[in-house]
Structure 1
């Protein structure tokens, strides 16, 4: 019922709150009018019965224009015209002041306040008062102007009671919808406000990191260039300084790539392009980059990525996640240590594990390791970072429909596990003379 009701009033992604309130009002009004129609047929006049049927039909047409054609504002304006005409006609054929018409005018005022465009309030709300006052004055000055249409006292009491009952049901439905919509919208605004505050805090932190961490490599590069301009350095000194500058620029480039990727994700322009990928094929260049860095730090890198394992993932996101995990493992592992990357399958899942025997993650940091508030630690060789990498890894893992978990013990090492859906590559056959590149084909076996 809840799902059907939401479909009737329209999705909040396609309809503004005012449009959904109008749709809900139309549905509630049609329900109440149709429930009241049998009473008017058996106890009251045929004219009133036809008025109610016509009213339900016209409201249904306006609802259709709003809900399915997207003309909510036009429908709301036409609805006010139809409503006021129906009020006058109903007053005339429903016994005037002797019927429940003053209550109906009151609920019509409520409907106008709920559905009319705010800029039109000065038209429809005063019009309701003017119409009721005018028609009551006409009846007062000319008592024979409106006939008493009730067959007997019983029919009058039944009409008044069921009119009241229908109005109560109508007001309850509309009011509950408005309250729930308001509360839901308020909760969404609160959540967005909190997210905006967190994003602003993160932005400030990143600007601080950028200002601090870009200053050092730029200053070093400037100092090196000044030395080259003023002095002639020995070959050994030049090699040492080149190595230091290369390490600084590599770390800075890695930091900037993480920040740019995170910024794009926050702007919601980055979505996962899920494809069937070979794990070994996608991660080969990432592993080679990590190996070159680990060799300079005298860290062994063990790799076990079976060629037959395939996953459904985004190639760029997968590479970025594993690159961050490997760089962190190398960063927090001492010289002479070990880092491993393996991939295994369990049921319909692939688990890519990055493990190290480094210094581990302190217990105090583990609860907030995927948030920028966790801060950044220097590596075992004083390597710097932004504290943004793991947060980015978790976000990209979720975008790919996966999950990122970890276990860590101080001075014992850390293990990160990226779980992704596996994918089946269709088997196919080929002839040696078919012209298919055997080297490329080998990737699928």
Structure 2
């Protein structure tokens, strides 16, 4: 009887988490684009009515651009999550060399790394591999690495570390950037948590890590974030070496 109750409680907890996740996603999708387009429409109307000078209009464009980039990222993240909600979605495990993931990030972020003069290194087991869903795993690493670059200062280093522990592979993205204050760390997956700007003014909506946690659950893994303000962040993924 106790086992049945415990199992039922776990199911209720999973359902509550899923409902909270979906409600938060709906809140973000309904608020952010409305705010952006409202601001953009106001700027155009002010310019048309000549209550805003062209000079001031162009001064405001960089901020509008950052808001647009943030909202585009929200839509892309949401679309990635929606693909996992279709009835026929299934994990598609393939053999993935961790070094291939390193080169994927290295190539995708070449421009951003160069812009901040950040060096990206691999350390650990160069022969490490796992069987996992490439689409989900690349998304997860992409978002974690994006944050590492965003919150790193120029001329700092970022690492992808791989260790194999029995039937588990641990992938860690390590930076020495701004870090996260301990009082915010416990609420990082909550929708009420604060949003921080990157070291070059990069803006986010705080959605990516929430989807990352959702995807890690689909991959039957765990995520751990260790961080200290002004000392950097280490995000570790504990993944099964083989997933069915």
TM-score range (shorter-chain normalised) is 0.7 to 0.9
Q: Which aligned pairs between 1:56-205 and structure 2 lie closer than 5 A?
A: 192=15, 196=19, 199-205=22-28
Following superposition, the deviation at residue 319 of structure 1 comes to 0.5
Partner of 1:209: 32
Q: Which aligned pairs between 1:383-402 and structure 2 lie closer than 5 A?
A: 383-402=202-221
Following superposition, the deviation at residue 214 of structure 1 comes to 6.0
Alpha-carbon distance change, 385 to 268 in structure 1, aligned in 2, over 3 angstroms: farther
Partner of 1:308: 127
Which whole-Å CA distance do the structure 2 matches of 1:267 and 1:198 have between them?
A: 16
Alpha-carbon distance change, 346 to 259 in structure 1, aligned in 2, over 3 angstroms: same
Which whole-Å CA distance do the structure 2 matches of 1:390 and 1:198 have between them?
A: 12
Q: Which aligned pairs between 1:353-432 and structure 2 lie closer than 5 A?
A: 353-422=172-241
Partner of 2:96: 277
Higher helix share: 1
Q: Does 1:344 align with 2:163?
A: yes
Q: Give aligned pairs, total.
A: 229
Higher strand share: 2
Contact kept, 8 Å, 2:226 with 2:234, in 1: the verdict is yes
Deviation per CA, 1:32-77, whole angstroms, max 9, x where unpaired? Answer: xxxxxxxxxxxxxxxxxxxxxxxxxxxxxxxxxxxxxxxxxxxxxx
Following superposition, the deviation at residue 376 of structure 1 comes to 2.2
Which whole-Å CA distance do the structure 2 matches of 1:415 and 1:344 have between them?
A: 14
Partner of 2:197, secondary structure, is coil
Partner of 2:33, secondary structure, is helix
Alpha-carbon distance change, 416 to 330 in structure 1, aligned in 2, over 3 angstroms: same
| TM, length-normalised to structure 2 | 0.75
Contact kept, 8 Å, 1:279 with 1:305, in 2: the verdict is no
| TM, length-normalised to structure 1 | 0.43
Partner of 1:373, secondary structure, is coil
Partner of 1:372, secondary structure, is coil
Contact kept, 8 Å, 1:271 with 1:399, in 2: the verdict is no
Larger Rg: 1
Which whole-Å CA distance do the structure 1 matches of 2:182 and 2:127 have between them?
A: 37
Structure with larger RCO (C-alpha < 8 A, sep 6+): 2
Alpha-carbon distance change, 310 to 196 in structure 1, aligned in 2, over 3 angstroms: closer
Partner of 1:323: 142
**Alignment RMSD (CA, Å):** 4.1
Gaps of 5+ in 2: 49-60
Which whole-Å CA distance do the structure 2 matches of 1:268 and 1:210 have between them?
A: 28
Gaps of 5+ in 1: 7-179, 227-241, 424-445
Partner of 2:139, secondary structure, is helix
Which whole-Å CA distance do the structure 2 matches of 1:339 and 1:346 have between them?
A: 23
Partner of 2:114, secondary structure, is helix
Which whole-Å CA distance do the structure 2 matches of 1:298 and 1:390 have between them?
A: 25
Contact kept, 8 Å, 2:117 with 2:156, in 1: the verdict is yes
Partner of 1:374, secondary structure, is coil
Partner of 1:365, secondary structure, is helix
Deviation per CA, 1:234-254, whole angstroms, max 9, x where unpaired? Answer: xxxxxxxx9999877655443
